[in-house]
Amino acid sequence: MDIIVCIKQVPNTTNIQIDHETGRLKRDGVESIINPFDEYAIEEGVRIKEKVGAKVTVITMGPPQAEAALREAIAKGADEGVLVSDRAFGGADTLATSYALSTAIKSLGKFDMVICGKQASDGDTAQVGPGIAEMLDIPHVAYVKKVEASDDKTIKVERMMEDGYDLIESALPVLLTVVKEINNPRVASLKGRMAARKAVIKVLDAATIGADTSKIGLNGSPTQVMKIFTPPQRTGGEKFTGEAKEVAAVLVKRLSDLSLI
Amino acid sequence: MANSVEVLSDKCVGCGQCAGACPFGAISTLERPEHPKKFKLAVVDLNKCAYCGTCSQTCKFSAIELKKDASQSSVDKSEYKGVWVYAEQRHGEIADVVYELLNEGKRLAKQLGTTLSAVLIGDGLKSKVQDLINRGADKVYVCDDPIFIEFQDDPYTSILTQLIKKENPEIILIGATNIGRSFSSRVAARIHTGLTADCTSLEIDAQTRNLQQTRPAFGGNIMATILTPSRRPQMSTVRRKVFKEAKVEEGRKGEIVDCKVDVATLVNRTKFLGFIKDASSNINIGDADIIVSGGRGVGKVEGFKLLEELAEILGGAVGASRAAVDSEWIPYSHQIGQTGKTVAPKVYIACGISGQIQHIVGMSSSDIIIAINKDASCPMMQTATYALEGDLYEIIPNITKEIKAIRCNS
């Protein structure tokens, strides 16, 4: 079985701070990490490989330094890394990104399954996974929390919904986007780290994958950023300090006056 | 002509203002020893640049020139008319977010001087049509067929795409639910148009009829306004509780369009095998009027007992920050924030939650926010309507006791 895992290198946003005086992101010392949701995608690919035998190829689109994310994925058990990188891809929105990645995936040859994290932590759109499936002309199941069973033609998965989960069967090849409930990603082994260091990362540019230049980068992006601004802060209200008993009483009185309790 | 962003080396003084302003971290300043005043030079990494123009607006020396390629092929926008709302249903019930979108859609349609339509895809849902009209839809497209009884991406994408191609709406609003987020991207890709996720504000530019879609980015640290300037329809997804629900106007008149569904034209490569209801999510935190929420400061799983007691007496639900969920003090279904649920209760009680932006974006629309924290300087305490400084293990039991006392007396 051939499995493709799509990942993205993102700034570690849990640590990103904003300077409210200048309204700017404090970028100093912000490290680049694999999008946290993609860690589950890598792990699931590796688990399927360990169970039924498969080749796991991780692919990412980004600047040359995104290679580090691919090596990290190889350290965690993936077999090969592919970096889709070209200045012409710059400024891509989710549609142009889906096009570039799907075109790169097609150029790699046969595949049975594509796995993505449910969304990236910087853009948060959850649009690229289903977009890739559409452009590969294959079905997809989003929000997968469990792979129940698979053979060489079909796969059965649990799809997380707001009120429970759906059991869905899909024909292969299929694209899955996975949620954090699906597994617990492993820590890279020493052997994995060695493999990652030695791995040769394949780099693909727009011409190599035969991308239509009108469909990539900013030109291929129907959405455009008009402006970027810092959200206004909600201003605080009353402060209560003192003995726990007192502040509790004042609060309850206040809520009761407002008929909230 | 391609897009270009050029730093004019004779004007750039290397002040680094642009590097700080760039939301994509694409600009750095390089030493320039050959410069007579040893000024540094701003350099743009085109791999990261999104050509948003923030740098050229920031530069006080007009040293950055941005040229956007205007050659992107544009559709004839005058052929696209009307605002649509995707009337999502699950197990035969219309999703709440649909009523919110109808309210916002009505406002946009009025500004554009056009009509508001709802698109209902399902099986045996004709009884829901009047409900959508009562909530403001001028027209309801009904795609009714047994194939649509349960949500599957393939047939839903096919039918909505067919309808869009036939009717050419200019705007489509979709709930940012699991269903909406799963298939809207496929629809947008198939008709090759723009889709903007999780919009929190929608405005019309009267001149161009462009929809200005504002959404949080980088975990809510910054807001971005997005346009789909040359393609139609303009598609947006919106989370629930962002807009107010449309009021019901009994007996309102509207047009009903019964769409012919030709099942042979619908691709379907998946099979729906069953639904398993989540028993633990009986109290949906999204619906609760009062939420008692715990974070890292709760410190241990036992602490959530106190929160549960308070929530119970208030008839509310228990929420949590990601830190509490990651510590396995409470299941993920209770998580509020960027990677959890978005809530907007009447009262939100944040216990031991410092207020990382990722959490704030999930609850900042609450009417009243109460923060209980030892650290008076943390963002949640600064944001709260009422900020109670102190140990939650002392304050919460006292609140519970106080409420019981009031209830006994009345």
Which class in CATH covers the domain with range B284-409? alpha beta
Which chain A residues are closer than 8 Å to B158 by Cβ?
Answer: none
| Smallest Cα distance from B251 to chain A, Å | 32
Is the model's pLDDT at B71 over the cut of 60?
A: no
Q: How confident is the model at residue A28 (pLDDT cuts 50, 70, 90)?
A: low
Is the per-residue pLDDT at B263 higher than 80? yes
Identify the residue among B71, B203, B380, B388 best suited for mutation to test binding to A, counting A beta carbons within 10 A and taking the highest.
Answer: B388
In order of their start, the domains of chain A are 2-215 (3.40.50.620)
Nearest-neighbour CA in chain B from A195: distance (Å):
28
| For range A118-140, the mean pLDDT | 94
Interface of B with A in 285-324 (CB under 8 A): 286, 290, 314
**Chain A residue nearest residue B25, CA to CA:** A27
Going from N- to C-terminal start, the domains of chain B cover 4-67, 77-265, 284-409
Q: Is the pLDDT of residue B47 over 90?
A: no
Chain B: nearest CA to A223, how far in angstroms?
4
Inspect the interface and report whether the beta carbons of B3 and A141 lie closer than 8 Å: no
B-interface mutation test, from A9, A12, A22, A24, most B Cβ less than 10 A away: A24
What is the length of chain A?
A: 261
- DSSP alpha helices (H): ranges in B70-152? 96-112, 129-134
Contact by Cβ (8 Å): A129, A146: no
Dist. CA B102–CA B175, nearest whole Å:
11
List the beta strands (DSSP E) in B78-210: 83-86, 89-90, 93-94, 116-122, 139-144, 171-175, 195-196, 201-204
Given the candidates 3.40.50.300, 2.60.40.10, 3.40.50.620, 3.30.2130.10, the CATH classification of the domain at B77-265 is 3.40.50.620
Q: B8-25 pLDDT, tens per residue?
A: 999 999 998 898 888 777
- Say which DSSP state B296 is in: G
pLDDT at B278 over 80: no
Residues of B in contact with A129 (CB under 8 A): 185
Q: Report the helix count and the strand count for chain A, using DSSP H and E.
A: 6, 15
Longest distance between any two alpha carbons in chain B, whole Å: 82
Between A46 and A219, name the one with better pLDDT: A46
A43-52 pLDDT tens trace: 999 999 999 9
Q: CATH says B4-67 is which class?
A: alpha beta
CA angle B91, B92, B97 (to 5 degrees): 90
Q: Chain A within 8 Å of B351 (Cβ-Cβ)?
A: no
Domains B77-265 and B284-409 share a fold: yes
Of all residues in chain B, the percent with pLDDT exceeding 90 is 73
**Residue B1 pLDDT exceeds 50:** no
What's the whole-number average pLDDT of chain A? 91
Range of weakest confidence among B129-138, B190-199, B268-277, B286-295: B286-295
d(CA B50, CA A131): 20
Instruction: In whole angstroms, give the CA distance from residue B136 to residue B116.
Output: 7
Residue with tokens 């900013």: A218
ipTM: 0.91
Sequence-distant (≥ 6) Cβ neighbours of residue B155 within 8 angstroms: B147, B148, B266, B267, B268
Q: Are B351 and B298 in contact (CB under 8 A)?
A: yes
Interval B108-138: pLDDT, tens? 999 999 999 999 999 999 899 999 999 999 9
Can you tell me the distance from the alpha carbon of B28 to that of B230, in angstroms, rounded to the nearest whole number?
A: 32
Q: Is the pLDDT of residue A210 over 80?
A: yes
Tens digits of residue pLDDT in A56-68: 999 999 999 999 9
Chain A contact present for B368, CB below 8 A: yes
Take residue A178 and report the two structure tokens written for it: 């996975």
